[in-house]
Amino acid sequence: MPPYLRIDLDGFIHLGVPSSEMGQGIHTTLAMMLAEELEVEMAQIKHIETLHHPDFKHPTFSKWTNNSLNAQMTGGSVSIRAWHQPFRKLGATARELLRRAASQQWKVPVSECKAANGKIMHSRSGLSLGYGELVGFASRLNPPKNPILKHSKHFRLLGKSINRWDTPDKVNGTAIFGTDVDLPGMLYGTVRHCKIFGEKLISVDDTKAKAVPGVITVIPLEDQAVVVADSTWAAIRGAEELILHTSGGHKDLSDKSFFRQFRTDLQKKGVPVAYRVDSGITNGNYSRVLELEYESPMQAHFAMEPLCATASVTSDGCEVWAPTQSSDFAMMMAMGVTELPPEKIKVNTTYLG
C-alpha cells in the first residue's frame, strides 16, 4: 500500500503519515495505531516521514469549515481525532492481506492463519511466514474494504506507555530539522524586515553589507531585504549591516486597536465559516444559557528553532525541505515563486523544533 505503508523483504516497515512531528509525538502515536492492528512491535518500524499527499487533506478542519479549509496541515491538537481510524484501518488492511496471502500459499482457510509479532502462523500445523516473505504475494491481492478492527480489550500498545519512536535520533543528533538540510553548492540567505508592520522599502543602503566577507548579493523586496551569502554567519552579519529606508506603516497598531476593529467588524454582515450548536439549545430544552466572550492578545508563536526552509530549483522542477505545519501551504508558496505546476514540485517536511 505505497506510499503510506511499505514492508521490506526483511520485515521492516516504512510509514508515511499526514501530520508534522513538532515534539507532540504524533509520529509515534500514528505508528502505534498501525502497529496495533498490523500485529507488529514498534521496533519493526524502521522509517516514518511526513508525506505530502492529496489523500492527506485534514478531514476535521474540512468538516469544521464546511470545506473552506481543505488542506494538509497539523494544528489544533486534532491529529488523532482525524487520523486514528484511518491508520488503524491501514494496519488492519495490511494484516488481512498478509493473512490471505499465507492462506493461499498454504492452501488453508484464512481463519486458521493468525497474525502476531510480524508473522503469520498456521494454528494447526505450526508453520509460520514473516511479513517480508509474504509481502510480494500480498501486494497482488485486492484489499478488503472494511477490515475488522481489534476490540480495545485486546490492545497491546494503545493505552500503554510506549517509548517515543523519534527520541533516539534526537538524542544522537541524526534527526533532521530544518537547518540540518545540506545540499551540494547551496547558498544561504537571511531576511531583514521593515520594523513596523505595513512599512514599505524606499531604498536599501547595502554598501557595508556587501563588504562582509562571504556576502554575494542583496535582494530588496517590497517590505524586506534578503542577504544571500556562502554561509549562514555571513548572511546574518550582512543583514545586520543593512540600512533600510522606509515609508508608511501602521504605527498605531496595538491590542486595543485590534479589539476595537474586531468589535466594529462584528456589526457588519459577514460570511459564516462554521456553525456548531447543541441541539438542546435550538429545541428550547434548557434552563439557563451562559453567553461568554473571550479575548486573546496578539502574540507571536515563537519557534525554538530558527525559521527556515531550503529549496533546490532547477529547469526540471523544485524541491523544498521545510519544518512546516502545512506542506500544502509550502507547495502553494513554491508554486507562486517558481511559477511551476504542482507535479513539478516536491515538499519534504523535516522535524519541527
Q: Average pLDDT of 89-98?
A: 97
pLDDT at res. 286? 73
* Same-domain check for residues 161 and 197: no
Given 204, 222, 250, the domain boundary residue is 250
Per the CB < 8 A criterion, the answer to whether 49 and 33 are in contact is: no
Q: What is the pTM of this model?
A: 0.85
* Same-domain check for residues 159 and 228: no
Given 203, 230, 250, the domain boundary residue is 250
* Same-domain check for residues 227 and 109: no
CA distance 259 to 261: 5
Residue range(s) defining the domain that contains residue 241? 185-250
* Same-domain check for residues 120 and 145: yes
* Same-domain check for residues 84 and 207: no
| Phi then psi dihedrals of residue 2, to 5 deg | -60, 150
Max CA separation in the chain (angstroms):
83
CA distance 281 to 108: 57
CA distance 21 to 331: 18
* Same-domain check for residues 192 and 47: no
* Same-domain check for residues 50 and 198: no
Per the CB < 8 A criterion, the answer to whether 188 and 229 are in contact is: yes
* Same-domain check for residues 90 and 224: no
* Same-domain check for residues 145 and 231: no
Q: Is the pLDDT of residue 283 over 70?
A: no
pLDDT in tens, 94-119: 999 999 999 999 999 999 999 999 99
pLDDT in tens, 205-253: 999 999 999 999 999 999 999 999 999 999 999 999 999 999 999 988 8
Within a domain: residue 329?
no
* Same-domain check for residues 80 and 162: yes
Domain tally for the chain? 2
- For residue 105, give the nearest of 149, 140, 147, 146 by alpha carbon: 140
Tell me 342's DSSP state: G
* Same-domain check for residues 156 and 215: no
Within a domain: residue 114?
yes
Given 198, 231, 250, the domain boundary residue is 250
Q: Average pLDDT of 156-174?
A: 95
Within a domain: residue 245?
yes
Within a domain: residue 217?
yes
